[in-house]
Structure 1
């Protein structure tokens, strides 16, 4: 008798320990060796809510199989599951009820990893001209589970409603796909989910149960007239850049023959990269118009490779401009490098070539489609020969992360130039300040103008106008400023080459009267 009671006590204690409180499941799965999403799906269906304790934004109840069920863990999230889906979730058992679990989880716990898309699913792509990442609507992910049997390929889809602000646009219903590496990471997939935006809510129709969310990419509404104006500005600006970069190349070649300098050589290569960039951009835009809607030939893929290579070469040579400026301003002494320009050329042209070849072998290039929504919620499609829309990691690393790093480093270099100019002016103006300490003389204004011109010119050479891409999120005027400045890069390089040519003639014909200006110009331009 005592043995029986002892055995029953052990069985009762083991049962109590097996039934885990629901409020501890999430924290325990975060510590598990397996991916926490799989652990959570398995253990949340067997946990229990003890006593009268209730969890906020958490539904955990048994529901009937005979009718449609609606659950709303938060006022912004509603899920509707049909009776056929509930019957599929019970499996081969004869139960009349199944357990339904619906809750929301903070999106920061879902760690993204580069996807390996196989099958029909695809990753959400961020347009090139809007490099900001997509975000989860409200920062919350809706987790829905029913029964003990996996629910997939439903004939009657599950309806999930996500309420949102009317200013949110370009949303897509997705579910969480675990990485094949089983390292706790994954990516957002659209397979089996359709999206319907009613203006105040997203309605997702999915044929399975999982972790659901809506990815949104805040878009700035552009009128049709503004879109046409921006297109003309881009085409005209790129055409002018092609013309003026050709002239700039001629000027740099003449300067290099007259007085070989390393800085002139770097400018020459950067101008060549800009010429390739604007030329390939116009070719990609005009060639894609000759293709049918679903046609994609080898010429378009080749032009996409050329455009990508030109963009990488432009940013690489822009980074080398900053590196050369660093050697001149910081490492003033002992900076002689044997075959300096040859080594820079191997990096400036070799690195983009290597990346473009690898991407070309991987088949990332093709026709790119960008959907634009105007102020009247009408969608229009813009196409260009670029990279296919499902190649997010390649596009993000090579066209967002790398340019941001270059712009950050070159901004520091420009700040160093401004600091040097300020130091030279402060150290060389003592005699003049004693002569007239209150009134700004004409000579001082000329020095200030030259310094401003030097800083503005270096800003263009260092590629800082590309940093204005962040202003495209703020207003329509930011889009115009970004488009104008970057489409006219070739014109700015021509003005810079013209300034170098004038300075070279001035140095040959007369002596420079301002020692501080001579020092800065020598540091900025020469070797």
Structure 2
């Protein structure tokens, strides 16, 4: 270590002073040196202390001039002691993760700045009473029983259940937490749950917190099975009625339906489920009848009678096994059932649904029953009408007399159509043929338009009959009124009811006489026309051929119409279908020949010098081939449409409802339309030709000639048939009389215009008359006939046959 500069001269002077002073000087130097060393040591310590305080970080202590140490509970990235000024002392997380210390079970470690402590978890408390501890050996935590510490911690009916470190509130058996009030328990209705705690032969009765399983009415517990617990099993006391298909009718669809009914009566489902399954099976049968459609009308009506009576018995039995309460079922396919089961008593009761409603005195429901509940039921089936098509209608004598008095003519038949559901009504009382007091009904129907003069909505009921299968009747039922799609009726008996729209065919004696006399006269005249066209040679030609075959078709068709159009009875047999087919063919053939008349007239008047018209081959092909093709296709597509029933009379004609009538009305309307155009064109052309031939012709004479020509064309072209395209379904007396007079005398007018007013034909008639009486034919008449002007003969109606 270097000495301080001020001491050097002093030491030099003392050295130079001599030897005696050397010892003193040496001692003095040693003392000075010790003093200097102490001073140097103090300066060094002070400097070092000042440097450590300058760079050691927070939470650390200085070790020496180059090192620092972290305080307890802190650590640096280099360890406890570090020498770098960039290091820091961070808190040690003893509680982890990962944990450095262990507090033991049911305890939680809590970290602090530079230290930690342990506490018991929520729901636990230390036995020692100390709230904090440092290690696992000091842990005395144990569970707190909140249910004992706070007895009313759970509200309502809920029960406190202690758990490790906590507790839960649970509902007792038979209860569940309310969704609106989560802390409160409410009763569980086990009877409506999906688990179905009771056996299907029993009825579930809910109680607060529990339930009971009891046998339904008409059932009893099986031996060894008590009535009440969930193990109760019951057996039926009431036996279901025997329900079998009608005797002598074979149908796979019907057999399949009764097989389902048999399974329903033998199973142990609840009556509500059995009712739904029964209605579903019935709807499947009616909407997909299968081979039922191939059966005749009698068989289908017998099946309908069997189904209606069987349904009443089956549903009555099921209702007696149900609890005393109203029951309504509306199927997806619009079949509705209403049941009322209650104790016997008096007083009016109203029940029903959208199809029908009923008001009756409840005393009638029980009848002669001694005890037990009474049942009233109403089944409304819109699909049942499918089986009741073409059913007969029996008009009671009082109603018939009233109609005949009003119209002053006998009622010939009643046409009807079903416009409501078929409503079957039944009671516990099975003797309902004659009730002590009438029952009032309100039936809904689908007719919203205004009815015509001879139409009426009537209340009818279905009456089974072994001979006919069944029919609609009105005896014992009368209508009270109706409004807004509903009819109110009263009946003195119960059955299956419906609303029918009836159209009364009032026999018009005058019209019938006109028809018979007119057709008879037309047949004679048509026969004379046929003989004339065959035998009179001077008029032979293509137009005469068309006239001939038109008269033949009209003669055959009118004869068949007069002799076979009506078939008394409620069945359409093969003979009636054959008559309908023949009428279809011959009248269509007549109209086809009328269309050929129009073509010939067009060639004659409009295109006088441009051709002779169609050849005979084409005439026959159109006149007889086209109607044959139409009838063949119609019979192949819908043969059952030939012959139809209207009331008690079967008309051998085409069915209106099935659409087959358009195989006649369509071609007829087309031909009449085309001939009407030809008629107007012809009259217009004739007017021009008359003016060209003789412009000075008097107006009166011209009008007379045009009138005769127009009448001839009208009957020749069939334009008068426009008054009666629907001959068998007329509604207007004016239309009926007009059509009958014009068309029943069509043969007479054809004979008059084509034969009597034709000069050549008259000459032939004179010739034949002279041959018959023995006189010779006048040569003068023959020469006169040969000198007639050709053009005038073509245009004069009496000679041209127009």
8 Å contact kept, 2:390–2:645: no
How far the C-alpha of 1:341 sits from its partner, in A, is 1.7
Higher RCO (C-alpha under 8 Å, 6+ residues apart): 1
Say if 2:538 is the partner of 1:262: no
Say if 2:589 is the partner of 1:313: yes
Match among 631, 637, 646 for residue 356 of structure 1: 631
**Aligned-partner SS, 2:540:** coil
CA distance in 2, matches of 1:402, 1:170: 30
Which has the larger share of helix? 1
CA distance in 2, matches of 1:418, 1:385: 38
Match among 688, 699, 704 for residue 449 of structure 1: 704
How far the C-alpha of 1:169 sits from its partner, in A, is 5.8
Structure 1 pair 203/335, CA: closer, same or farther in 2 (3 Å)?
farther
> Unaligned stretches of 5+ in structure 2?
1-325, 335-352, 356-384, 392-415, 427-440, 459-473, 489-498, 764-780
How far the C-alpha of 1:419 sits from its partner, in A, is 0.6
Say if 2:552 is the partner of 1:272: yes
Match among 658, 665, 671 for residue 392 of structure 1: 658
8 Å contact kept, 1:421–1:520: no
Match among 680, 688, 703 for residue 423 of structure 1: 688
Structure 1 pair 223/452, CA: closer, same or farther in 2 (3 Å)?
same
Say if 2:748 is the partner of 1:491: yes
8 Å contact kept, 1:366–1:386: yes
8 Å contact kept, 1:418–1:455: yes
CA distance in 2, matches of 1:230, 1:482: 10
Structure 1 pair 469/428, CA: closer, same or farther in 2 (3 Å)?
same
CA distance in 1, matches of 2:387, 2:586: 32
What do the CA deviations read for 1:37-87 (whole angstroms, capped 9, x no partner)? xxxxxxxxxxxxxxxxxxxxxxxxxxxxxxxxxxxxxxxxxxxxxx75456
Structure 1 pair 198/402, CA: closer, same or farther in 2 (3 Å)?
farther
CA distance in 2, matches of 1:479, 1:320: 27
CA distance in 2, matches of 1:297, 1:449: 51
CA distance in 2, matches of 1:349, 1:302: 18
Matches within 5 A, 1:57-456: 84-85=327-328, 88=331, 120=387, 159-160=443-444, 165=450, 167=452, 170=455, 200-201=482-483, 203=486, 224=507, 227-255=508-536, 257-285=537-565, 288-289=567-568, 293-336=569-612, 340-361=615-636, 362-364=638-640, 366-371=642-647, 381-387=648-654, 389=655, 392-395=658-661, 397-430=662-695, 432=696, 440=698, 445-456=700-711
8 Å contact kept, 1:326–1:413: yes
Structure 1 pair 322/153, CA: closer, same or farther in 2 (3 Å)?
same
8 Å contact kept, 1:316–1:348: yes
How far the C-alpha of 1:320 sits from its partner, in A, is 1.6
8 Å contact kept, 1:166–1:200: no
8 Å contact kept, 1:315–1:403: yes
**Aligned-partner SS, 2:672:** helix
Match among 476, 501, 525 for residue 733 of structure 2: 476
1:465 aligns with 720
How far the C-alpha of 1:216 sits from its partner, in A, is 7.8
The two structures have a TM-score, normalised by structure 2, of 0.37
8 Å contact kept, 2:705–2:797: no
Kindly tell me the number of residue pairs found equivalent between the two proteins. 345
**Aligned-partner SS, 1:384:** strand
CA distance in 2, matches of 1:407, 1:301: 27
What do the CA deviations read for 1:177-209 (whole angstroms, capped 9, x no partner)? xxxxxxxxxxxxxxxxx999766445489xxxx
Across the aligned residues of Structure 1 and Structure 2, the Cα RMSD in angstroms comes to: 4.9
Structure 1 pair 390/498, CA: closer, same or farther in 2 (3 Å)?
closer
CA distance in 1, matches of 2:553, 2:794: 29
**Aligned-partner SS, 1:393:** coil
How far the C-alpha of 1:215 sits from its partner, in A, is 11
Structure 1 pair 152/503, CA: closer, same or farther in 2 (3 Å)?
closer
CA distance in 2, matches of 1:279, 1:119: 36
How far the C-alpha of 1:334 sits from its partner, in A, is 3.7
What do the CA deviations read for 1:379-436 (whole angstroms, capped 9, x no partner)? xx4433223x4663211x1332222222121111111121112112333333x37xxx
How far the C-alpha of 1:247 sits from its partner, in A, is 0.7
8 Å contact kept, 1:284–1:307: no
Structure 1 pair 513/394, CA: closer, same or farther in 2 (3 Å)?
same
CA distance in 1, matches of 2:744, 2:422: 49
How far the C-alpha of 1:153 sits from its partner, in A, is 10
Structure 1 pair 391/88, CA: closer, same or farther in 2 (3 Å)?
closer
CA distance in 2, matches of 1:424, 1:523: 16
8 Å contact kept, 1:369–1:382: yes
